[in-house]
Chain A
Amino acid sequence: MLIFHLGPLATSLFSLLAILALVLSFVMLASHWLKNHVYAFAAESWTIAAISASIGYYGHYPELYIIAALTALFRGTFLPYLVLRLVKRLDIQREFTPLLKPSSSMIIGAALVIFSYEVSRQLGVALHLTDNIAVLALTCMFSLKLIGFLMMILRSEAISHILGLLVIENGIFLGSQILVPGMPALLELVIIFDLLTIVMAFGMLVRFLQTHAGTTSSRGLQKLVG
C-alpha cells in the first residue's frame, strides 16, 4: 500500500484535495436543488482527477495522467451532462421528499465521518500503515461511501439514487487512486465505462418509469401493478 513516500507539502496537498472531495459530497447532502447536486458531483470528479494527476506527478506514474484526463472528461463532464439532461427532461428541479432537513443530514454525515475515521484508524493500526495520508484516504473513502448510502436512504427520487451511487463510486475511485496507485490502467478504463453504462441504463429506467408509472419517486412506487 502506498509504495512511495511524500514530502510535507505534497502531504498537505493530498489531504486538502481528499478532504475537498469530502466537503463536496456534503454539498450534495445538504442542498435540495438537483442542479447543485450535479455540479457538486462534477467538481468532486475534477478534484479526484487532480488527485490522480498529482499522484502521477509525485509517484512517477505517467499512465495516471491519462486516467486523470479520462476522469475529468467522463466523470467530470460527460456524466454530469447526461444527468443534467435527465433532470431537464423530467422537469424536477429539487428533491421534494427528503426524510430529514439539510442540517440534520449534515450532522448525521459528520457522525459518519467520525465513524469512518475510527474504522480507518483501527485498520491503520492493524495493517501497520505508517503514512497518515493512507489513513486519510481510507477515511475519505469510507465517508464518501457512507454519505452516498445516506443520500440514497434519505431521498426517494430516482435521480438522487443515481447521484448517491455515483458518490459511492467516486469514493472507491478516490481511495484506490491514493492507496494502490499502480493499478492497471485497463481496470480503471473498465470502471469508467461501467459507470457510463450504469448511468445510461438508469436514464432509460427513469424515463420508462416516468411514462408508465407517472412518478420516479420510490415512495410513489409501492403498489404492485399487474
Chain B
Amino acid sequence: MLGDIVLQCGQVLTVMFLAPLLHGFITTVEERVQRGKGPSIFQPYRDLWKLFNKSLLVPESATWVFFWAPVVAFTAMLIVPMLIPVLTNFPLPLSDMGDILGGGLILTLGSFFILLAGLDTGQPFGGLGSSRAVMLGILAEPTLILVFVGITFLDHSMLPFVANHLLAKNPVAYWSPAHIFLILAFFILLTVETDRLPIHSTIPYEIYMIDEARILEYSGPLLALLKWASWMKQFIFYTIFLNVFLFPWGLSTTGSFPSVLLALLIILAKYGVIGLLMVGVDTMQSRLRFYRYQEPLALSFLFAVLAIVADQL
C-alpha cells in the first residue's frame, strides 16, 4: 500500500521533472536538424530557475484571475498524471478518481483558465491569442472526445489502464483498423495540442502566436509556472499517446523498484523517438493559413469516425 502511494507520487514527479527535459530535447534536436547549434537540452531547467528567482510584475488592469490562472493550470497538470499510466500498467490508489474523459476535462480546465488570463488584462494580443485558442479548441475538442469514445468502444471501459492491458496483450485488437485509425487521429491531435506545426508556429512573432500570445503579460514565477504547465501538458499528451495508444509495453507490471527504473529508461527512449518524429513534422511542414486550420483537424475527425465505424464491425 505504502509502495503504491510512493509510486503514485513518483508518477507525478516523473511528469514534473522530465517534462522540461523533453521540451529541451525537442528544441535542441530541431535546431541541430536545421543546421543550428541549439541550446543545451537542460536549458528549460535553467530557464525555470531563472524565472523563479525574478521579481513578479502584475499589470494594473489585472484581477484575481491573472494571479490564479497559472496556479490552476499547474495544479491541473499535477492531477492528470495520477489518472493515467505513466510508470505502472496497473491502477494506483487514486487512479480511479477519474476516467479518461475526466482526465481530458481537467486538462481542458487548465487551458480554460489560461484563456481567461489572456482576456483578463485587456491587452490586445492576449485577446487575439485567446480567441484563436478557442477556435482551435472548438475544432479539436470534439475530435478528442471522439477518439476517447473510440478507444472506449474498443476496450469496453473508460479507464486508460484497461486499454493499455488489452492492446499490450491482444495483437488482433492492436492491429485492428479501429485502433490504427485512432492512433492516426490522436497523432494529428498531438501536433495540435503540443504546439507543433502545421498549426502552431515555432517562430515567436506576435502575428503567428496562439498559445504564447495569451501569456505575454506574465513575468517571473508566474510565467515559470505557466511554461512548466505547458511542458507538462506536452508530456502528458505524449504519455497518453504512447502508453494508451501506440506503445502499451515497457511499463512496470509489478511496481518493484528495478522495474520502475527500467520503465523510466524506456520512457526516456520512447518519448525521445516520438520527439524526433515531432522534429520531423516541424521541419518538413509549413504553417497553414488561418483559414486552413480545419483541414488537419477534419482529417483527424474523419479518422476518429472511421475508427468508430470499424469498431462496430
Contacts and interface: CB of A to CB of B under 8 A. Distances in A.
Interface stretch (B40-48, B159-167, B198-206, B296-304): B296-304
Interface in A118-169: 121, 132-133, 135-136, 139
Contacts of A72: none
B172 A15 contact: no
A23 B306 contact: yes
Interface string B223-250: 0000000000000000000000000000
B290 interface: no
Contacts of B294: 101, 103
Given A19-B306, A117-B309, A12 B299 contact: no
A25 to B, nearest CB: 11
A26 interface: yes
A8 interface: yes
A16 B184 CA distance: 14
Interface string B284-313: 000000001011011101100110011011
Interface in A82-126: 101-104, 106-107, 109-110, 113-114, 117, 121
Contacts of A110: 301-302, 305-306
B101 interface: no
Nearest to B175: A12
Contacts of B310: 15, 19, 136
Contacts of B91: none
Report whether over half of chain A's contact residues are helix, strand or loop; otherwise say mixed.
helix
A3 interface: no
Contacts of B292: 103
21 contacts: A9-B172, A12-B172, A12-B177, A15-B177, A16-B175, A16-B176, A16-B180, A19-B181, A19-B306, A19-B310, A23-B306, A30-B295, A103-B298, A106-B299, A106-B302, A107-B298, A107-B301, A107-B302, A117-B309, A132-B313, A136-B313
Given A103-B292, A103-B295, 17 more contacts: A8-B172, A12-B176, A15-B176, A16-B175, A16-B176, A19-B181, A22-B306, A30-B298, A30-B299, A102-B298, A104-B298, A107-B301, A110-B305, A113-B306, A114-B305, A121-B312, A132-B313
